[in-house]
Chain A
Amino acid sequence: MKPRFVRKSRYEKKNRYVRKKMQLLLLIVALLSLAACNDDMTPGQRWLATTTEQIRQGYQQLSAQTRAQQQMADAFCQQPDAQGLQTMQAAWRESMASWQHMQWLRMGPIAQDNDDWKLQFWPDKKNILQRKMQDILEGSEPVSADSLVHASVVVQGFSAQELLLFDPQFATVEKFAGRQCDLLRASTTLTARVGQKLADAWQDETWLKRWVAPTATQAGLTPAHVRNGEILDALLAQIERIKNDKLGEPMGLKTRDKKPNGYFAESWRSENSLANLQNNLLAVQQLIRPAQGYGLFQYLKDSQQQALADEMVIKLDNAQQALQQIHPPLTSAVTDAAQQPALQNAHRALGELATFCKQKLAPALGLTLGFNSNDGD
Chain B
Amino acid sequence: MKPILHALAGLGLLTSVPALAAVSEQDVVAQYANVAHAVFADALQSAKTLQGSVDTLLAAPSDANLQKARTAWKAARVPYQQSEVFRFGNTNVDEWEGQLNAWPLDEGLIDYVVTGKYHHELGNVGANANIIANTSLKLGSDTLDLANITPELLASLNELGGSEANVATGYHAIEFLLWGQDLNGSGPGAGNRAYTDYVQGTGCTNGHCDRRAAYLKAATQLLVSDLANMEQQWAPGKDNYRAELLKAKPDAGLVKMLYGMGSLALGELAGERLKVALEANSPEDEHDCFSDNTHYSHFYDALGIENIYLGRYQRVDGTAVKGASLSDLVAAKSPDTDKAVKAQFSKTMAAMQKLVDSAESTRSPMKFDQMIAENNPAGQALVKDAIAQLVVLTRQIETAAKTIGVDDLNPDTADHEF
Instruction: Report A142-164 CB contacts with B as 1/0, cut-off 8 Å.
Output: 00000000111110000000000
Contact A376 B264 (CB under 8 A): yes
Instruction: Report B234-268 CB contacts with A as 1/0, cut-off 8 Å.
Output: 00000000000000000000000001001110111
Contact A131 B119 (CB under 8 A): yes
Interface centre among B88, B120, B412 (most CB of A within 10 A): B412
Contact A376 B266 (CB under 8 A): yes
Given contacts A1-B410, A371-B394, 13 further A-B contacts (CB under 8 A): A4-B407, A126-B284, A128-B284, A131-B119, A152-B374, A154-B281, A255-B159, A261-B162, A370-B262, A375-B259, A375-B266, A376-B272, A377-B268
Q: Does B409 contact A (CB under 8 A)?
A: yes
Point out the residues of chain B lying under 8 angstroms from A370, CB to CB.
262, 398, 401, 409
Q: Does B335 contact A (CB under 8 A)?
A: no
Contact A152 B409 (CB under 8 A): no
Knowing A257-B162, A368-B407, A377-B272, the reply to whether A117 touches B279 (Cβ < 8 A) is yes
Residue from B122, B161, B412 in contact with A126 in the complex, judged by beta carbons closer than 8 Å: B122
Point out the residues of chain B lying under 8 angstroms from A1, CB to CB.
410
Q: Does A21 contact B (CB under 8 A)?
A: no
How many chain A residues touch B (CB < 8 A): the figure is 42
Residue from B119, B159, B412 in contact with A128 in the complex, judged by beta carbons closer than 8 Å: B119
Q: A252 CA to B412 CA in the complex, in Å?
A: 20
Instruction: Report A27-66 CB contacts with B as 1/0, cut-off 8 Å.
Output: 0000000000000000000000000000000000000000
Query: A152 CB to closest chain B CB, in angstroms?
Result: 4
| Chain A residue nearest to B266 in the complex (CB) | A371
Q: A125 CA to B105 CA in the complex, in Å?
A: 11
Point out the residues of chain A lying under 8 angstroms from B408, CB to CB.
368-369
Q: Does B282 contact A (CB under 8 A)?
A: yes
Q: A109 CA to B161 CA in the complex, in Å?
A: 42
Chain B contacts to A: CB under 8 angstroms: 88, 104, 119-123, 158-159, 161-165, 259, 262-264, 266-268, 270-272, 279-282, 284-285, 374-375, 394, 397-398, 401-402, 407-412
Q: A368 CA to B104 CA in the complex, in Å?
A: 34
Instruction: Report A1-19 CB contacts with B as 1/0, cut-off 8 Å.
Output: 1101010000000000000
Residue from A127, A255, A256, A375 in contact with B262 in the complex, judged by beta carbons closer than 8 Å: A375
Point out the residues of chain B lying under 8 angstroms from A152, CB to CB.
279-282, 374
Query: B91 CB to closest chain A CB, in angstroms?
Result: 14
Contact B374 A150 (CB under 8 A): yes
- A–B Cβ pairs within 8 angstroms, 28 of them: A2-B398, A4-B398, A4-B407, A121-B280, A124-B280, A126-B119, A126-B282, A126-B284, A151-B281, A153-B280, A154-B280, A255-B162, A258-B162, A264-B123, A368-B402, A368-B408, A370-B262, A371-B263, A371-B266, A371-B267, A371-B409, A373-B267, A375-B88, A375-B259, A375-B263, A376-B263, A376-B264, A376-B267
Q: Does A348 contact B (CB under 8 A)?
A: no
Q: A102 CA to B374 CA in the complex, in Å?
A: 28
Q: A242 CA to B398 CA in the complex, in Å?
A: 25
Contact B120 A126 (CB under 8 A): yes
Residue from A114, A150, A259, A375 in contact with B267 in the complex, judged by beta carbons closer than 8 Å: A375
Instruction: Report A214-236 CB contacts with B as 1/0, cut-off 8 Å.
Output: 00000000000000000000000
Point out the residues of chain B lying under 8 angstroms from A248, CB to CB.
none
Q: Does A209 contact B (CB under 8 A)?
A: no
**CB-CB contacts below 8 Å: A77-104 with B:** none
Point out the residues of chain A lying under 8 angstroms from B410, CB to CB.
1, 358, 369
Q: A331 CA to B41 CA in the complex, in Å?
A: 45
Contact A128 B282 (CB under 8 A): yes
Q: A372 CA to B119 CA in the complex, in Å?
A: 30
Q: Does A374 contact B (CB under 8 A)?
A: yes
Contact B159 A256 (CB under 8 A): yes
Interface centre among A125, A154, A257, A258 (most CB of B within 10 A): A125
